[in-house]
Amino acid sequence: MKLVETPLAGVLVLEAEPARDERGYFLHTYSEEVHSLLPQIAEGAVSWNETRGTLRGLHFQHAPHGEAKIVRCSRGAIYDVALDLQTGRWFAIELSRDNFKMLFIPAGLAHGYMTLQDDSEVSYLLSGGYKPEAGGGVRWDDPAFRIDWPMRPLRLSERDRNWPYVNR
């Protein structure tokens, strides 16, 4: 597993190398290197998205319930975004079943993604359990952040549509 730094402090791209043979491939998604980033896994989760253009986010949990996460697209493809709410800086990467990349997002950052293909599935490893009372979010299209999404969302939950704008 190769850990690659990004321009956003603490956010890492995890590049896994599958072992391939005539049957297909075998892929390690958690290793000693990853354990140093996420030594305690409190939850694992999966999100399935029927259609391209589905946007989920931008979500975070307020302190002291922040959670670090490792995000992997196990089917389809997504445009994955980590956002530092303190600086307004963000990092985005395409994660797909075919590129074997994952994204590590430290606690305290917001996270969201947009599906690039129909039938996309996203897997998470999380350092903390979800606490509804600590959940928060910001708008995907907030001009304070100027995130360069690949398209306007075709599907968006009412909750995500109504997150507040941040005043900077």
56 by DSSP, 3-state: which? strand
Q: Which two tokens stand for residue 52?
A: 């391209």
Angle, alpha carbons 107-110-112 (nearest 5°): 125
> Cα separation of 100 and 27, whole Å?
8
Per-residue pLDDT, averaged over 82-109, amounts to 96
Q: Quick: pLDDT tens for 5-17.
A: 999 999 999 998 8
Per-residue pLDDT, averaged over 18-26, amounts to 89
- Per-residue three-class SS string for 96-138: ECCCCEEEEECCCCEEEEEECCCCEEEEEEECCCCCHHHEEEC
Which domains are assigned to the chain? 2-161 (2.60.120.10)
Q: Quick: pLDDT tens for 112-159.
A: 999 999 999 999 999 988 888 889 999 999 999 999 999 999 999 999
**Any idea which residues carry the catalytic annotation?**
59, 124
Identify the pLDDT of residue 116. Answer: 98
Residue found by looking up tokens 């690039």 in the block: 116
Could you tell me the pTM of the whole model? 0.92
Q: Which two tokens stand for residue 159?
A: 């909750």
Per-residue pLDDT, averaged over 93-118, amounts to 97
57: left (phi over 0), alpha (psi -120 to 50) or beta: left
